[in-house]
Amino acid sequence: MKKPNISTTTLYIRNMVCNRCIRVVQEELEKLGLQVQRVDLGEVDLLNGKALDLKKIRSVLENNGFELIEDKRGKIIERIKLVILKLVQQDQSKAPLKLHYSDYIARALGHDYHSLSSLFSSVENFTIEQYIILQRIEHVKELLKYGELTLSEIAYKTGYSSVQHLSNQFKKVTGMTPSHFKDLKQSLRKPLDKVFTN
């Protein structure tokens, strides 16, 4: 007996930036009766058992703060952001990046970096490099607030060449030193998907 041809559809979803997001998206899609094969930051693979009702999927995602990306350019940009997020969250002291960010992103997406960079800048109005810096600083803020590591350990863990480099970039982005930030009572951290919004 011939096996049925099972294919998958990949959905690209904006604002999926953490493990909780992955869990919520999977649960909500399964409630719609969809067969979820894989869920990762910003991506979901669905088994094509029945026709997808994109209107319902879009609605349930929006009700939970996510957005279904349906245009090709938006999908590529979201993939760039997710590659950067994973890279920034990676412990550089345990698994140092042996490539330049540009080479890593180009390989991960299978596209020429220059074209990716041009597309990103034209749509987002800031560069990939600026986005990487801001995501790294948000990660540093998180580690500073935990208070478990010294500034030197944080620099090493986040891939900065020195404490001085980290401190200079931190001050340039936030307007304050890392130690001043650490001493603040209120949190000035931003959700990772809101890094470039006011």
Residue 55 CB-half CA count within 13 A: 0
Largest CA distance in the chain: 69
Q: What global pTM score does this model have?
A: 0.72
Q: Is 97 helix (H, G, I), strand (E, B) or coil?
A: coil
The pLDDT score that the predictor gives to residue 186 is: 58
The pLDDT score that the predictor gives to residue 192 is: 55
Is there a contact between 42 and 12 (Cβ–Cβ < 8 Å)?
yes
The answer to whether residue 49 is domain-embedded is yes
Together in a domain, 82 and 173: yes
What's the domain range around 190? 73-194
Looking up residue 141, the CATH number of its domain turns out to be 1.10.10.60
What is the tens place of the pLDDT at every residue in 113-142? 999 999 999 989 899 999 999 999 999 999
In the structure encoding, which two tokens stand for residue 69, read together?
A: 């990306």
The answer to whether residue 189 is domain-embedded is yes
Together in a domain, 62 and 149: no
Environment class of 92 (CB within 10 Å of its CB; exposed 0-12, middle 13-18, buried 19+): middle
Looking up residue 29, the CATH number of its domain turns out to be 3.30.70.100
The answer to whether residue 89 is domain-embedded is yes
Conformation bin of residue 125: beta by default, left when phi > 0, alpha when psi is -120 to 50: left
